[in-house]
Amino acid sequence: MRRGVCFSFLFFILQVDSTAYKFIQYQTAQRANNTISISSDTRYEVLKSLCDSLSDCVAFDTSGALLNSSSYISTTEWITSICDAGHPTTERLAIAKEKQVIYNGLVRSYIHRHGDVTVTVSPNIFDDLSFSSKVLTRAVKRYKRLIFSHTIFEEETSIFKSQPSDVQTINIICPSQNETLGPGMDESYSLTITESSIRIKAENVFAIMHALETLSQMITYNFDTSTYDIANAPWKIEDDPDFEHRGILIDTSRHFQPVSILKKLIESLSYAKFNVLHWHVVDANSFPMEVKSYPKLWQGAYRREERYTQAEISHLVNYARDHGIRVMVEFDNPAHTYAWGIGYPDILPEGWQEAENCPNTCPNLDCDVPMDPVNPLSKQRQIVSGVIREATTLFPENLLHLGGDEVPLGCWNKSSTILQHTIQYNKTLQDLYLEFVQASQRVAVDQGRTPVNWEEVYVNFGTLLDPRVIVHVWLSLDTVRRAAQDGYRVIVSNGWWYLDHWDNDFERYYRNELLYNVTEELRGKVIGGEVCMWGERMDSSQMLRLIWPKAAGAAERLWNYNEAEGQWALEKALPRLRRFRCLLIDRGISADAVYSWANPAHPSACMDT
């Protein structure tokens, strides 16, 4: 989990054998008289070869047009993607407007069919909906306000009360209104829009939320007619995710994140159809969480004001559930635990300050002292077990992350107790590491939880681990295949999905190969992935805009894996990325510029930066 940092803006450049063609982007179209010819074969390699063969061809586009000029005229529509020979790299990226209009968000649904009629819809169609599930009731109320954002609601009475609407009814069919959220649940839904009605069907409350999110991104406000419109009706959408685990890791140890910011993060996750918040709540740097059975632990917080009470934690978990987000908490052990030792110093090994090959400059970002694995006086096992047991009363999520990574065994070399133990029981320090990991896993399993460990635990110990363990890969995609072959389920968070790697551009988030070298029969072992927002170099003022909009590329990859594999896939995704950034900003979520912070060339700033 250690990361190098640099920064670059997003520029995607294609290098080819002879002429270098670069994708560029304008909110413009090419002049009609610039078209030399149009090829029916729109494969990149074919168009590139044709353009190379023509002396006056300097560019081609995704519609197959071969062009003799790269000058354009202004238009308000995104028309096509241009691949231009020798165009300056400082220009913008290519973009392709889809001929089939799709809803605004980046995470694409599977669309069975659609039509060409625009219908109007009124806020009042939501008024008579009633459900036994309070979670679903709150979700419908929330989406009514998100969808009809230009309407002023007073005591749930809309100023559009008397305005006619083409769509007269919305019918939400949810056979099970059970509010239990967990891994492996059915997230599929169907959304049907006719010229007079909307019908949503799903097996559970949380899949209904996905449908409402899709619907919310299809309805737009028409400022000319003061109506809310759905274009290209009728619609028939059948949708479900390719991966069950679609998450973002947030680190509140390196920099504390206020509850208000975490709630905004939870809201934004639901907009991209993520379903897991991986909460790396404690680390070597601070222990900000209240643990009532060991009340001195949060003495390791940076300051008294930067702590999470159990009441706040319960509130966040319930808030996340209301948005369809599972909260998987992580207590990394036996390493990354210096902050645990602020309140209980005996938990750390004797002589760690003088040990060689031990990252013992504490406290700082490189501090990484592991717990003492054997000293009975430290009661370290009781403390870890107590934290895990208490956490299961606060976090109902079945998956419990136990870390286990980056254990510097050299920190144990100065402890006479540890060395005597290895001699007496004929054990190595590696053996003690394994025993500690296995003990934590047993506690989690005894509490009805599924343990998750970072990649190093599997790399070091392989099939000695409990077969129920989930391996969280961050170092090498080769481990995904090997762990799956050994029967373990896998979560992927390799370097291309590290949000604090500023050089990772959108293409990496969008095209990351979770299933690299994984055979078809083993793909079911890869349950999903996470993008990681490690906290060393950011605080609450930056967090959301560093996550968004790039994390949306991973959201689409996890929802519809093959979407990123097709021809012109990246260029087709870029307009969705731009629209999704606008959506986030409209909903009060900070999102960084897609291209640059230069003054926009056109009035729509969120679309043009």
Question: Which residue numbers are catalytic?
Answer: 406
Residue 66's nearest CA partner among 58, 74, 76 is 58
- Give the CB-side neighbour count of residue 381, counting CA atoms within 13 A: 16
The values of phi and psi at residue 542, to 5°, are -115, -20
> CA 135 to CA 348: how far, in whole Å?
44
What would the DSSP string read from start to end of 270-337?
HHTT--EEEEE---SS---B--TTSTTGGGGSSSTTS-B-HHHHHHHHHHHHHTT-EEEEE---SSS-
Check whether the bond before 123 is cis (ω within 30° of 0): no
Q: Identify how many contiguous H helices and E strands the chain contains and give both numbers.
A: 16, 23
> CA 35 to CA 57: how far, in whole Å?
9
| 399-401 vs 450-454, strand pairing mode | parallel
Sequence length of the chain is 609
Residue 597's nearest CA partner among 6, 9, 87, 95 is 9
Chain mean position to CA 200: 25
> CA 329 to CA 300: how far, in whole Å?
18
CB atoms within 10 A of CB 38: 12
CB atoms within 10 A of CB 19: 13
Task: With beta carbons less than 8 A apart as the criterion, state whether 511 and 557 touch.
Answer: yes
Chain mean position to CA 443: 29
